[in-house]
Amino acid sequence: MAAGTGDISNNIQAANPKPIRKNCKLHAVLAHLARGNSMNRFQAEKICHDHCLNSTISDIEKRGITVNRKTEVVPGYQNSRVHCTRYWLESEEITKAAKLLGWQNHDGYKS
């Protein structure tokens, strides 16, 4: 395969993404974000059973959805400070996410 073809296939996937299969962590995380929620890695573990949120976010972005993020500090073990990232979607991206999730409208009740 020629050099740089990986970039082309990623662009094709983003331009014409396949719907996301239900009952998988990718669907759970994207649905949570598409409902207007935000989360960090600790919340993702509890809410979506996702043990590696940053990888799931990367998979979502490969499908053409821009995920916003900011660094935050949360309390850790024995009141230590833990730096992590909070993720969320803006309204334009929620519309794209709803399409990938197969929702008829983007209120989240059709999944």
User: What's the pLDDT score for residue 111?
Assistant: 40
pLDDT band at 108 (very low <50, low <70, confident <90, very high): low
The chain-wide mean pLDDT, for the chain, equals 84
Instruction: Give me the DSSP letters along 8-31.
Output: HHHHHHHHSPPPPPSSSHHHHHHH
Q: Can you give the length of the chain in residues? A: 111
List, for residues 41-61, the tens digit of each pLDDT value.
Answer: 999 999 999 999 999 999 999
List, for residues 25-45, the tens digit of each pLDDT value.
Answer: 999 999 999 999 999 999 999
User: What's the pLDDT score for residue 17?
Assistant: 64
